[in-house]
């Protein structure tokens, strides 16, 4: 287990990044967050960078564990400019980190590269594990994820793990808050046909999976960080209604999803496409999920509400 080492986190100020930083700090790691805007009052060190060019910050990577989470939130309209923003905000920091890793005396001991299961596009009903080929589109999904992963290829690191991750469910985060809000508003019916699969993971299992990956030197390459039981949209919405004590709701037809996405300034493809992804490599490594089903996760995340 790689306890008490230096961990350099890019993208450590987002909701998931903050969770990871807390986890690493609790483990006794020397945590360094690369940030464009350092803030006062934080327990860990912050080092300024611009996310594009190699600077004095590069020295922090010497022999460290590197965690690359940098990237803008995907919850936005899929306009050409927004898609370019999503791509650039991931590729440029990754290229800068890769260049920095090549400049230090000791290569990073471990590189944890964030990625997304959206790299498989709209995968329909097929079960998808790490051996599945990536998709060509949509441009705001696979068209962003493929260059993101390509940017880290050949990095000077002793071990590289690409964490293709499902929707991380956590309290107070946009993904879960939006689902809860829509359900409470009476819009908790299935979306379109409701047969699209949602790959998700409870934040606690995400953090525990990172712990496992850090401690398993035999794990490298692509690893799915997602719950073992993806859920169809129709079943997910039913679970939300039951958990929030809401009555049955009519389905939301596809044209209404597109219309609503305009007003909510989001991407309709987030609701209309799906992937039935499974964490084959985590399971083979002996990982035991604390929240293997969506109902388990929801009960924990809504406890006390």
Inside any domain, residue 195: yes
Inside any domain, residue 154: yes
Inside any domain, residue 1: no
Contact status, residue 107 vs residue 113, Cβ threshold 8 Å = no
**pLDDT digits 0-9 by tens, 13-68:** 899 999 999 999 999 999 999 999 998 888 899 999 999 999 999 999 999 999 99
Inside any domain, residue 89: yes
Buried b (16+ CB within 10 A) or exposed e, 169-197: bbeebebbeebbebbeeebbbbbbebebb
* CA-based nearest residue to 275, from 115, 149, 152, 55: 115
pLDDT of 69 higher than 70: yes
pLDDT for 184: 95
Tokens at 56, concatenated? 């004095």
pLDDT of 2 higher than 60: no
Tokens at 84, concatenated? 């370019």
**pLDDT digits 0-9 by tens, 234-278:** 999 999 999 999 999 999 999 999 999 999 999 999 999 999 999
Distance CA 100, CA 213 (A): 23
Is pTM beyond 0.85? Reply is: yes
Inside any domain, residue 137: yes
Which CATH number is 254's domain given?
3.40.50.720
User: What SS3 state is found at 296?
Assistant: helix
pLDDT band at 1 (very low <50, low <70, confident <90, very high): very low
Q: Which residues contact 97 (CB under 8 A, 6 or more apart)?
A: 10, 61, 66, 68, 152, 155
Q: Which domain holds residue 169?
A: 6-301
The number of folded domains in the chain is 1
Inside any domain, residue 193: yes
């Amino acid at each position: 287990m790689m306890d008490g080492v230096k961990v350099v986190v890019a993208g450590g100020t987002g909701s998931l990044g903050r969770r990871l930083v807390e986890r690493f700090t609790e483990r006794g790691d020397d945590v360094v967050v690369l940030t464009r805007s350092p803030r006062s009052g934080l327990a860990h060190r912050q080092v300024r960078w611009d996310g594009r060019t190699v600077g004095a910050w590069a020295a922090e990577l010497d022999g460290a564990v590197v965690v690359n989470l940098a990237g803008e939130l995907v919850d936005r309209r899929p306009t050409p400019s927004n898609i370019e923003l999503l791509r650039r905000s991931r590729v440029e920091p990754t290229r800068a980190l890769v260049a920095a890793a090549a400049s230090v005396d000791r290569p990073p001991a471990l590189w944890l590269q964030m990625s997304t299961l959206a790299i498989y596009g709209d995968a329909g009903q097929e079960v998808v594990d790490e051996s599945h080929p990536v998709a060509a589109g949509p441009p705001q999904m696979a068209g962003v994820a493929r260059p993101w992963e390509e940017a880290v290829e050949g990095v000077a690191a002793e071990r590289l793990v690409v964490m293709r991750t499902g929707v991380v469910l956590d309290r107070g985060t946009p993904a879960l808050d939006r689902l809860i809000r829509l359900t409470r508003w009476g819009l908790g019916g299935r979306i379109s046909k409701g047969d699209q699969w949602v790959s998700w993971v409870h934040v606690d299992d995400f953090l525990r999976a990172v712990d496992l990956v850090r401690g398993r030197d035999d794990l490298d390459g692509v690893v799915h960080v997602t719950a073992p039981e993806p859920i169809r949209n129709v079943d997910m919405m039913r679970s939300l209604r039951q958990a929030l004590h809401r009555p049955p709701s009519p389905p939301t037809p596809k044209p209404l999803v597109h219309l609503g996405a305009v007003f909510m300034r989001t991407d309709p493809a987030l609701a209309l496409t799906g992937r039935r992804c499974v964490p084959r490599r985590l399971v083979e490594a002996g990982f035991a999920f604390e929240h293997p089903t969506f109902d388990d996760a929801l009960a924990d995340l809504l406890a006390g509400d």
